[in-house]
Amino acid sequence: MPFAVRVVEPRRLDPSGHADLFNAIVQELVSPPTVPRDRFDEPTSRPASRRYDLVTFPEAFAPASCVVALAEALRGVGPTGCLHIGLRADDDPASHLFTVPALLSLVADLGASVDAALGDLDGFTAWLGEQSPNHMFNVGCVLAVDARSHLRVCLHPKLVRSKFEVDRLPERHMREANLLTLVTLVPTQSRFGTVTLQPIICSDALKLETDRRTPPPIPAVTLHAGCLVDPPNHVDVVSVATCTPQPAGRHAGGARYRVWHSQFLETFRAAAEDPDCARHHFATIVLANYMEISDRLAGGLSGAFLPVPPGAAAGDPAVSVTCWGRPKSGSPPNNRWSDPDVDPLKNWDSRGYVVGLDPYSSDAASSARVLSFDVHRLPRETSRWRPGESLVALDVSVWEEQDGGGYISRRGASHG
């Protein structure tokens, strides 16, 4: 069965506008606007909304109060997919970090909407109770309504500090957490298998030195599986809420490009073949980023890495593609990531690829873009004897801010 993903890429990191944009996007996901049956009718019929299994927002995106309000609103909604959201604290707009008392308050607020018997917040609460009150943490959240119409909530802290979270001031210096988080989606029909989701935050995906000298979350699921209750055999999807600069340049002909940071590219390769990442060898890695971090820092390329050869993404004008492999002609003996000025979809033999929103496509100036796609078959469910399409039903919608306030969406580019 296809796994439906939506990746949200705001135009710019601008906390003052995040709440309105977040609410508008979630409102359309959960309750699509009505449309007229024909041009003479009142707008009383709902369009057929596209199913989603996962929506990933960037790091430090939604204020905690918005997520609490969303949790309350979702209690009356039928089953939904997973909403993975990077959080920021309400009390200090200049910082995305949470104090321990602020996190205790967030747990209490979310707990009011969740059935305590499900135990969704127990692990996070127990871990939080062991932390010093003056430590600062970066936190993400996964919200969903399950098949029995129960609201489900997962809070997860960031484990690997980025260089932007090192500061001489204690209130700006992030404390690295040591809590591994996995979410298992269990189908109601036994003919479908479970799907394991790992939500992480930005530099959690990178191979960086940590204060505890422990591995980052992706290899830790294999190397420290003993700390997990009933560890899964496979992690199917890694959802990365990120806020990361991307290298930019120009082709020989003058066209501009951006490429995924080399440390992320190394993560993609390692997840597919490093023995320390054995549980992630068939994982799809989904990434949501801001298109511009600041006036000096370019971002973008929100999308996904798949450890299989590319298929339906070929030749799409709305996205850029980087492949792991080698040229078909005159190839060197070793595999490598394709250069920005080649077309690897035509000229390379590839083992895996990264597809992301092109920062220089015609719709890039909008307030936000949402990339929708289906992973046609999760890689662990794909027969090696029968090559097929890996990523299908690509669609881009754009969000524009209105003069009178609020946001409106329109279809950007659609690619079947």
Does 78 map to a domain? yes
pLDDT (mean) for 175-193: 93
pLDDT of res. 38: 55
Does 50 map to a domain? yes
pLDDT of res. 371: 94
pLDDT of res. 48: 46
Does 301 map to a domain? yes
Does 39 map to a domain? no
Give the structural domain span for 399.
3-31+46-415
d(CA 343, CA 328): 11
Burial 377-392 (b: 16+ CB within 10 A, else e): bbbbebeeeeeebbbb
pLDDT category of residue 328 using cuts at 50, 70 and 90 = confident
DSSP state of 206: S
Does 8 map to a domain? yes
Does 305 map to a domain? yes
pLDDT of res. 355: 93
Does 244 map to a domain? yes
Do strands 319-327 and 336-337 pair parallel, antiparallel, or not at all (unpaired)?
A: antiparallel
pLDDT category of residue 249 using cuts at 50, 70 and 90 = confident
pTM, 2 dp = 0.93
Does 37 map to a domain? no
The total of structural domains in the chain comes to 1
d(CA 151, CA 120): 10
pLDDT higher than 70, residue 49: no
